[in-house]
């Protein structure tokens, strides 16, 4: 992801904004545990005092026929990841340089481990990047923090960036509401082709691959989360101290769980192979469909 020195030679790690991930986390490994939602086992950043973005249950005033028994309205919950459809790869060539996994030097506390909160994929500088899913653009540029799920007050962080004139050091980011209870996050663009409020189709160009935010090289960081998720990632203590950010953020899920052939990409790192495998699987399913329908009659 990205790197920036804040203050006298201080390198900090923050997802999308100031991350120093380094790609020295070892060989690519299959993910452990479920992918429907990250379990928040937060270390150093307890969540007991963190406000929740998920509304608390509300009580509807009783109607006369209710006989004085109010109705509790339960807030909606994040849709299971395995129910999501319509996703495609933001880039169609290149490789997975870092998956969604625990890594040394990660920015978040999740399950007692430091974590990389998305999938990094790289092809070449200036490569077109497409929307992974149809939706509406919520952010396009360097002012994106309000749309990525922070839990708490961002004003101290914003004041700090204003005072240090540091907005230009952040990556260029696009955030899209996918219309299914989830948001997609794309980071490190060289430039963007969309504006806030614009509706986009899956595969529509939204910008070009870059290295803004002092990334170590051109790539796309792709993240996925639901604003309805109640689980949290904790923020590393040094980030809290130096950037005045909230103590937690909405937990992320593994984007490879929704991208076609994600399991192949995890094993091979090759995006083209993942896409080819997904197409072959779809073709085989369509070929077998008549036999399955006949068997059902």
DSSP class of residue 171 equals: P
Q: Output the pLDDT for position 51.
A: 34
State the Cα–Cα distance between residues 213 and 204, nearest whole angstrom.
24
pTM: 0.77
State the Cα–Cα distance between residues 238 and 241, nearest whole angstrom.
5
Residue with tokens 């299914």: 180
Q: Output the pLDDT for position 89.
A: 98
Helices within the chain (DSSP H only):
155-164, 237-243, 262-268, 271-296
Cβ atoms within 10 Å, residue 205: 13
Domains of the chain and any CATH numbers: 4-22+87-259 (2.70.70.10)
What separation in angstroms does the CA of 87 have from each of 120, 188, 198, 203, 235? 16, 20, 18, 9, 29
| Contact indicator for 58, 241 with CB cutoff of 8 Å | no
pLDDT digits (tens, 9 = 90+) for 186-244: 999 999 999 999 999 999 999 999 999 989 899 999 999 999 999 999 999 898 888 99
State the Cα–Cα distance between residues 156 and 146, nearest whole angstrom.
13
DSSP class of residue 195 equals: -
pLDDT digits (tens, 9 = 90+) for 262-273: 999 999 999 999
Tell which residue, 91, 85, 59, 82, has the closest CA to residue 72: 59
What separation in angstroms does the CA of 278 have from each of 35, 58, 88, 99, 259? 19, 43, 10, 19, 9
């Amino acid at each position: 992801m990205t790197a920036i020195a804040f203050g006298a030679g201080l390198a900090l790690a923050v997802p999308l904004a100031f991350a120093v991930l380094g790609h020295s986390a070892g060989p690519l490994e299959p993910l452990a545990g479920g992918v429907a939602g990250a379990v928040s086992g937060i270390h150093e950043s307890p969540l007991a005092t963190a406000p929740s973005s998920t509304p608390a249950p509300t009580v509807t005033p009783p109607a006369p026929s209710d006989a004085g028994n109010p109705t509790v309205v339960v807030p909606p919950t994040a849709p299971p990841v395995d129910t999501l459809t319509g996703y495609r790869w933001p880039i169609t060539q290149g490789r997975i340089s870092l998956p969604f996994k625990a890594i040394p030097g990660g920015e978040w506390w999740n399950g007692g481990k430091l974590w990389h909160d998305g999938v990094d994929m790289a092809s070449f500088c200036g490569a077109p990047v497409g929307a992974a899913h149809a939706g509406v653009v919520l952010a396009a540029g360097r002012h994106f923090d309000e749309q990525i799920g922070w839990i708490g007050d961002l004003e101290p962080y914003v004041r700090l960036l204003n005072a240090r004139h540091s907005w230009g050091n952040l990556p260029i980011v696009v955030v899209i509401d996918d219309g299914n209870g989830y948001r997609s996050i794309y980071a490190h663009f060289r430039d963007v082709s969309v504006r806030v409020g614009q509706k986009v189709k899956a595969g529509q160009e939204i910008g070009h691959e870059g290295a803004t935010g002092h990334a170590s090289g051109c790539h796309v960081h792709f993240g996925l989360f639901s604003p309805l998720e109640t689980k949290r990632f904790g923020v590393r203590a040094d980030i809290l101290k130096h950037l005045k950010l909230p103590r937690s953020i909405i937990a992320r899920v593994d984007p490879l769980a929704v991208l076609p052939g994600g399991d192949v990409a995890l094993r091979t790192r090759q995006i083209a192979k993942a896409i080819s495998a997904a197409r072959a699987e779809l073709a085989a399913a369509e070929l077998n469909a008549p036999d399955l329908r006949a068997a059902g009659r």
